[in-house]
Amino acid sequence: MIEHPKAVEMDRKFQEIYAEVDQELERRHGKLFSLHPTRPRHNTTSNPQMDGLFNLGSSFSPGYGSEHGRGYVIDLKICTLETIPDEVRSIIWEETLGMIQEKMDLVFPERNFVIKRDGNVFKILGDFSLGEI
């Protein structure tokens, strides 16, 4: 598969944003729940998505049947076997979305990225164009 260099760079920047947000989530909430027994402790792997209490990332959606169209669906998993109270889950989501938005505004100021609820998911919307070839 051939990928456009600008798309690869955009993805790299998003991964950096998610890694920074993951670090902050771990700092704030990493001790709230016991870690899933198969999950390594925070900062013990080279990929923050693979360790610690939180797994944060996104995947592109073409937006078929969506209210807002194409964008990146944000995926936040809390890796525990414990029941997470709805109010705690809401606080963590609110903080996560705020941190992602703040970092996107700094990293991609010209793209006007915003996060909106789209059905039962949160989606990053904005200018995903890759420019001229």
Q: Is residue 102 part of a domain?
A: yes
Q: Is residue 119 part of a domain?
A: yes
The 10s digit of each residue's pLDDT in 107-118 is 999 999 999 999
Q: Which among 130, 125, 127, 14 has a CA at the least distance from the CA of 66?
A: 125
The 10s digit of each residue's pLDDT in 30-57 is 999 999 999 888 888 888 788 799 999 9
Asked whether 70 and 61 are in contact (CB, 8 A), the reply is yes
Q: What CA–CA distance (Å, rounded) separates 26 from 20?
A: 10
Indicate the pTM of the whole model: 0.91
Q: Is residue 130 part of a domain?
A: no
Q: Is residue 131 part of a domain?
A: no
Q: Is residue 132 part of a domain?
A: no
Q: Is residue 111 part of a domain?
A: yes
Q: Is residue 87 part of a domain?
A: yes
**Domains in the chain: how many in total?**
1
Q: Is residue 116 part of a domain?
A: yes
Asked whether 18 and 56 are in contact (CB, 8 A), the reply is yes
Task: For 71, list phi and psi in degrees, rounded to 5.
Answer: 165, 180
Structural domain containing residue 21: 5-124
User: Which of the four pLDDT bands, split at 50, 70 and 90, describes residue 2?
Assistant: low
